[in-house]
C-alpha cells in the first residue's frame, strides 16, 4: 500500500510498546465502553527493550467548475493492473539524491545531481518519479523518472524547465518567479504519472493552479486533462479508475482518462482560514471505489455561534450526495482524516474550557456522528489518524507532562507508542502492524528513515535522510 507521500502524522518516536490485540464491540452511548486509559512510562531510547506496560482507569472567489477535456486531449483508456513489487520498497532523498531501499535487500543510490526535492514511486515499485530544482536557474523545476533498479533508461526527463516556463506564461501568474509541481503521483496499476502545478514566488504564499496533466513514464506520451482552474487537488480511487477533484468550494469526480466528468457533486461555502490560504476538503475513498466520505467545516469556525462540521456520503455514479450527520467544528484543526478506513467511525479532537487552558478531548463516534463518546481528555490532545485495521487510531499529547504519541482503540485501550512527541514525523502505515517514519535522532541530530512494528519489536534503521522536504514514498 502506498503512503500517498504519507504525511499522516507529525510526531515522535523514542520507543515502541505492544499494542492492544483484542477487538471489542463498536462505540455506543455508554461512556464506559471507551473510557480513557493511561499508558505507562516507557524507555526513551530507540532500540532498548520495551518496558512493561500497565493500564489504569482513566480519570475567496469561487473557482470555475471543471470542464471536460477536448477529445484530442483524452489519453487512451488503460485498465489498471493489480501489480505490486516483490517486497516492500521505499524511495527517499539523501543529500539531494534518490536512494531506494528494498526490505530484505540493499539500499542503492540512483542519482548524483544533488538537486532532488520530492519523490513518488509507482505501485509496482519499478519507476520513481522525482522533481529537480535546477541550481543553474532560480525557480526552475523539472520532472524526471528513473528505474528503481538503476538499469538502462535511467534517468529520463519527463517535463522540462522550458515546458514549465511555457505553462507559466500561459497562466494567470505569468509574473511569478517560476512554476513548480504541486502534486505528482502514479496512477495505481500503471506508469501514468499525473501532476499539477503551482506558481512560485520570492515570499510566502500558496495558490495551486488546480490543473491536471499526465505523462507516461515509459512512452513519454503527454496529455493535458484539465487546464488551470479546471481541476482541483486530486486523489485516485483505490482501483485507479477514477479521480476525485477537491477545490475550496466544490468537489467533482472524473474517470482517470478524463471522461465521464461529474461536476460539482458537492458544493459548499468557502471555509474561512483568516489567511491567504484557501482550505480544500480531503475526500476519503471507500475500499471498493464506489463512494467517498468527506467532512466539510463551516464557513466560519470562529463565529460566536459556530455551525457544525458536516459529514457527507458521495456516490460515484453521479447521484445526489447525502449528508450523514455532523460533528462539532474544530477551529483550524481541519478534519481531513477523521473517517476510519472501513467508513464505520469518525474520530476527532475537540477544544474544551477556556482557550488559555488548552484542554482537549478525543472523541469517537459512528460515521454519522451518533453515539459520540469521549475517549480521552487532557492537555493539547490532537487526533492524528486511523490505522488500516479501522480499529486503532493515533493521537498526540503535546503537553510537557504527558507528551507522547498514543495508540487508541475502539475497545477503549490506550498504549504509548512514543514518549517524546516531536521526534517522529511523516508516519505511514505499511500494514496493520508496521509503520514507516522519519525519526529526528536527538543524540546525533540526524533525520533517519526507520521501520518498526507498532509494538517496538524488530524496528530497523533504513538510512539517514536529508533535504528541504525530507520526502519519501513506499509501496509493497
Nearest to 271 by CA among 233, 309, 243: 309
Helix (H) or strand (E) holding 107: strand 107-109
* 453 pLDDT higher than 60: yes
Handedness of CA 397, 275, 281, 324 (dihedral sign): positive
* pTM for the model: 0.82
Question: How many Å separate Cα 301 from the centre of its chain?
Answer: 23
Backbone angles phi and psi of 4, in degrees to 5: 65, 35
Are residues 210 and 231 in contact, defined by beta-carbon separation less than 8 angstroms?
Answer: yes
Distance CA 437, CA 147 (A): 23
Distance CA 420, CA 326 (A): 33
421 — pLDDT class (breaks 50, 70, 90): low
| CATH topology for the 31-57+86-475 domain | Methanol Dehydrogenase; Chain A (2.140.10)
* 472 pLDDT higher than 50: yes
Domain ranges of the chain: 31-57+86-475
Average pLDDT over residues 41-56: 30
Average pLDDT over residues 414-437: 85
Question: How many Å separate Cα 320 from the centre of its chain?
Answer: 27
Distance CA 182, CA 209 (A): 8
Handedness of CA 129, 133, 135, 136 (dihedral sign): positive
- As separate numbers, helices (DSSP H) first and strands (DSSP E) second, the chain gives 1, 33
List pLDDT tens digits, range 188-244: 999 999 999 999 988 777 899 999 999 999 999 999 999 999 999 999 999 999 999
Distance CA 32, CA 21 (A): 19
Cα–Cα distances in Å, from 240 out to 288, 292, 388?
A: 11, 14, 19
Are residues 216 and 192 in contact, defined by beta-carbon separation less than 8 angstroms?
Answer: yes
Q: What DSSP string runs through 361-417? A: EEEEEETTS-S-EEEEEEETEEEEEE-TTSSEEEEEE-STTT-EEEEEETTS-EEEE
Q: What is the pLDDT of residue 84?
A: 60
Beta-strand relationship, 156-159 and 222-226: unpaired
Helix, coil or strand: residue 198 = strand
Distance CA 46, CA 418 (A): 9
List pLDDT tens digits, range 80-127: 655 566 789 999 999 999 999 999 888 999 999 999 999 999 999 999
Grid cell for residue 410: 475502539
Amino acid at each position: 500500500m502506498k503512503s500517498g507521500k504519507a504525511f499522516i502524522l507529525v510526531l515522535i518516536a523514542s520507543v515502541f510498546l505492544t499494542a492492544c490485540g483484542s477487538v471489542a464491540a463498536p462505540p455506543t452511548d455508554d461512556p464506559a465502553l471507551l473510557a480513557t486509559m493511561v499508558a505507562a512510562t516507557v524507555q526513551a531510547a530507540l532500540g532498548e527493550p520495551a518496558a512493561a506496560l500497565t493500564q489504569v482507569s482513566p480519570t475567496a472567489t469561487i473557482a470555475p467548475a471543471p470542464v471536460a477535456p477536448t477529445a484530442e486531449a483524452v489519453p487512451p483508456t488503460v485498465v489498471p493492473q493489480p501489480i505490486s513489487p516483490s517486497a516492500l520498497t521505499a524511495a527517499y532523498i539523501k543529500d539531494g539524491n534518490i536512494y531506494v531501499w528494498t526490505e530484505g535487500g540493499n539500499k542503492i543510490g540512483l542519482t548524483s545531481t544533488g538537486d532532488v526535492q520530492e519523490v513518488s514511486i509507482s505501485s509496482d515499485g519499478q519507476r520513481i518519479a522525482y522533481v529537480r530544482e535546477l541550481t543553474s536557474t532560480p525557480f526552475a523545476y523539472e520532472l524526471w523518472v528513473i528505474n528503481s533498479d538503476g538499469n538502462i533508461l535511467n534517468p529520463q526527463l519527463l517535463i522540462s524547465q522550458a515546458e514549465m516556463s511555457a505553462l507559466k506564461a500561459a497562466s494567470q501568474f505569468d509574473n511569478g518567479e517560476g512554476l513548480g509541481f504541486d502534486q505528482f503521483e502514479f496512477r495505481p496499476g500503471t506508469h501514468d504519472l499525473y501532476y499539477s502545478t503551482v506558481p512560485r514566488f520570492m515570499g510566502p504564499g500558496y495558490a495551486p493552479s488546480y490543473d491536471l496533466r499526465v505523462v507516461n513514464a515509459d512512452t513519454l506520451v503527454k496529455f493535458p486533462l484539465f487546464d488551470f482552474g479546471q481541476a482541483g487537488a486530486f486523489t485516485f480511487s483505490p482501483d485507479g479508475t477514477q479521480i476525485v477533484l477537491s477545490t475550496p468550494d466544490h468537489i467533482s469526480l472524473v474517470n482517470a482518462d478524463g471522461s465521464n466528468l461529474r461536476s460539482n457533486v458537492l458544493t459548499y461555502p468557502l471555509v474561512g482560514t483568516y489567511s491567504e490560504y484557501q482550505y480544500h476538503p480531503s475526500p476519503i475513498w471507500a475500499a471498493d471505489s464506489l463512494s467517498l466520505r468527506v467532512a466539510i467545516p463551516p464557513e466560519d469556525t470562529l463565529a460566536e455561534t459556530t455551525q457544525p462540521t458536516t459529514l457527507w456520503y458521495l456516490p460515484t455514479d453521479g447521484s445526489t450526495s447525502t449528508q450523514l450527520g455532523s460533528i462539532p467544528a474544530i477551529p483550524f484543526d481541519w478534519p481531513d482524516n477523521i473517517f476510519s478506513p472501513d467508513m464505520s467511525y469518525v474520530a476527532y479532537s475537540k477544544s474544551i474550557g477556556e482557550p488559555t487552558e488548552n484542554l482537549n478531548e478525543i472523541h469517537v463516534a459512528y460515521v454519522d456522528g451518533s453515539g459520540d463518546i469521549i475517549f480521552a481528555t487532557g492537555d493539547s490532545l490532537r487526533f492524528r489518524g486511523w490505522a488500516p485495521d479501522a480499529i486503532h487510531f493515533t493521537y498526540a499529547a503535546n503537553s510537557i507532562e504527558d507528551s507522547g504519541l498514543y495508540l487508541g482503540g475502539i475497545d477503549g485501550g490506550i498504549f504509548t507508542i512514543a514518549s517524546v512527541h516531536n521526534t517522529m514525523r511523516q508516519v505511514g502505515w505499511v500494514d496493520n502492524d508496521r509503520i514507516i517514519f522519519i525519526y529526528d535522532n536527538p543524540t546525533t541530530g540526524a533525520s533517519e528513515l526507520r521501520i518498526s512494528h507498532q509494538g517496538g519489536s524488530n524496528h530497523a534503521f533504513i538510512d539517514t535522510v536529508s533535504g528541504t522536504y525530507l520526502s519519501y514514498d513506499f509501496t509493497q
